[in-house]
Amino acid sequence: MTRIIDGNEIADRITADLEPCLETLADAGTTPGLATVLMSDDGASETYVSMKRQACNELGIESIHHELDPDAPADALFDRIDELNGDPAVHGILVQLPLPDHVDRQAVLERIDPRKDVDGFHPENVGRLVTGTPRFKPCTPHGIQKLLEAEGVETEGADVVVVGRSNIVGKPMANLLVQKSDTGNATVTVCHSRTDDLAAKTRDADVVVAAAGVPELIDGSMLSPGTTVIDVGVNRVDADTEKGYELVGDVEFESAAEKADAITPVPGGVGPLTITMLLYNTIKAASLQAD
Ligand code: GUN
């Protein structure tokens, strides 16, 4: 029988473990603060930010929200980041991606104080991750490590195929999994849109992490029995529903579940862990800044 991994349950357990850290900070007079910045009227981005804010409020992290008109000049965003960098009540800064085309995304990420970069996207933090001395692990790959750990999926010596090479998921995921660590020591293959024979790679995998942003790219015919399947995709596809769309992963769930040993659903798999690890990083940022 395939195990359907309950991301909400695992996320709730990790979130509960964060409460003592918050109490320690409160005793020292610190309430962690996370600033979210939204420069987009994309519905999905609005939803993600509001879920992050709600999670902060529920745990007792101060949520400070800023919205900029998507047509505003890039300098308006840089100025806002400068203000947040200098605000001692703000311990973490998250600029929701994607940004409008006229804004240089890399310049934005580099403008954030690396000590407040709870996404872990600043080059200083990317460099720390790659060299095995992470400060903030990017939230989605870190959450996937926690999922695998909670499910007892051994990464040491495992063949892990990461499908997707984004800076947000694919690349940091691969980096975390190859590190010498209890949740690393894997043999990692990174596949992408130019990979020659994707199915040949995924069929050889013990673990597949699907993060390509392509609806139902991976189906059961591309998997060997016993694989652990982690689906990072959250794709809105047109459907005859109240909202006019439905959420579909990068994995074709029904056929993949027939082959997989364990599989994450969409929604309710990886997503809750991403939010939990953002809370974790915000608390870590506040602790580092209190030292
Ligand atoms: N857009 C999609 N995923 C993410 C994320 O993890 N962080 C930010 N800032 N934007 C995103």
Domain co-membership, 225 together with 161 = yes
- By the 8 A CB rule, do 23 and 31 touch? no
Question: Binding site for NADP(+): which residues?
Answer: 164-166, 234
Task: Answer whether residue 157 is part of any domain.
Answer: yes
If asked whether residues 145 and 84 sit together in one domain, one would say: no
Instruction: Look at ligand 1, atom 1, and give the residue with the nearest C-alpha.
Output: 97
pTM above 0.95, yes or no: yes
Given 113, 119, 206, 231, which residue is catalytic?
Answer: 119
Rounded mean pLDDT, 9-31: 98
12-18 mean pLDDT? 98
Mean pLDDT across 191-202: 98
Express each pLDDT in 206-261 by its tens digit. 999 999 999 999 999 999 999 999 999 999 999 999 999 999 999 999 999 999 99
Tell whether 145 and 235 lie within a shared domain: yes
Looking at residues 48-53, what average pLDDT do you find? 98
Q: Is 37 in the pocket of ligand 1 (CB under 6 A)?
A: no
Ligand 1 in reach of 129 Cβ (< 6 A) = no
> Residue 67: inside a domain, yes or no?
yes
Same-domain check for residues 144 and 235: yes
Same domain, 100 and 162: no
**Joined tokens for residue 73:** 């000049």
| Preceding amide of 138 cis, omega within 30 | no
Residue 8's pLDDT is what?
Answer: 98
Query: Is 5 near ligand 1, meaning CB less than 6 Å away?
Result: no
Whole-number Å distance, alpha carbon 169 to ligand 1 midpoint, is: 9
Beta-bridged to residue 235, according to DSSP, are 248
Tell me: do 102 and 202 sit in the same domain.
Answer: no
For the sheet containing 62-67, what is the strand order? 62-67, 33-38, 92-95
Domain identity same for 97 and 145: no
Number of domains in the chain: 2
Report how far ligand 1's centroid is from the alpha carbon of 96 (Å): 5
Give residue 291's pLDDT band: very low, low, confident or very high (50, 70, 90): confident
CA gap 143, 195 in Å, rounded:
26
Residue 104, in any domain of the structure: yes
Residue located nearest, by CA, to atom 4 of ligand 1: 97
Look at residue 1 in the predicted model and tell me its pLDDT.
83
38: Cβ below 6 Å to ligand 1?
no
- From the candidates 96, 113, 137, 250, which is the catalytic residue? 96
Whether the CB of 94 sits within 6 Å of ligand 1: yes
- DSSP states of the chain: -PEEP-HHHHHHHHHHHHHHHHHHHHHTT---EEEEEE----HHHHHHHHHHHHHHHHHT-EEEEEE--TTS-HHHHHHHHHHHHT-TT--EEEEPSPPPTTS-HHHHHHHS-GGG-TT--SHHHHHHHHTT--SS--HHHHHHHHHHHHTT---TT-EEEEE---TTTHHHHHHHHHSSSTT---EEEEE-TT-S-HHHHHHT-SEEEE-S--TT-B-GGG--TT-EEEE---EEEE-SSTTSEEEE-SB-HHHHHHH-SEE--SSSSHHHHHHHHHHHHHHHHHHHHH-
Q: Is residue 45 part of a domain?
A: yes
Tell me, in angstroms, the distance from the centre of ligand 1 to residue 231's CA. Answer: 16
The response to whether residue 278 sits with its C-beta less than 6 Å from ligand 1 reads: no
Q: Which atom of ligand 1 is nearest to the CA of 138?
A: 6
What is the pLDDT at residue 26?
97
Decide: 32 and 21 in contact? Cβ < 8 Å: no
Radius of gyration of the chain (CA): 19
pLDDT tens for residues 155-184?
A: 999 999 999 999 999 999 999 999 999 999
**Which numbered atom of ligand 1 lies nearest the CA of 169?**
6
Shared-domain flag, residues 204 and 85: no
Q: Is residue 166 part of a domain?
A: yes
18 lies in some domain: no
What distance in angstroms lies between residue 226's CA and the mean position of ligand 1's atoms? 31
Tens of pLDDT along 96-144?
999 999 999 999 999 999 999 999 999 999 999 999 999 999 999 999 9
Residue with tokens 């349950």: 9
Query: Are residue 107 and residue 151 in the same domain, yes or no?
Result: no
Is the residue at 58 inside a domain? yes
The CATH number for 210's domain is 3.40.50.720
CATH of the domain at 81: 3.40.50.10860
| Active-site annotation holds for 96 | yes
**What is the Å distance from ligand 1's center to 165 Cα?**
15
- Let me know whether 109 and 143 are in one domain: no
One domain for residues 188 and 110: no
- 266 and 172, same domain (yes or no): yes
Q: Which domain holds residue 252?
A: 139-272
Span 260-283, pLDDT tens digits: 999 999 999 999 999 999 999 999
User: Is the shortest distance between the CB of 36 and ligand 1 below 6 Å?
Assistant: no
Residue 253 falls inside a structural domain: yes
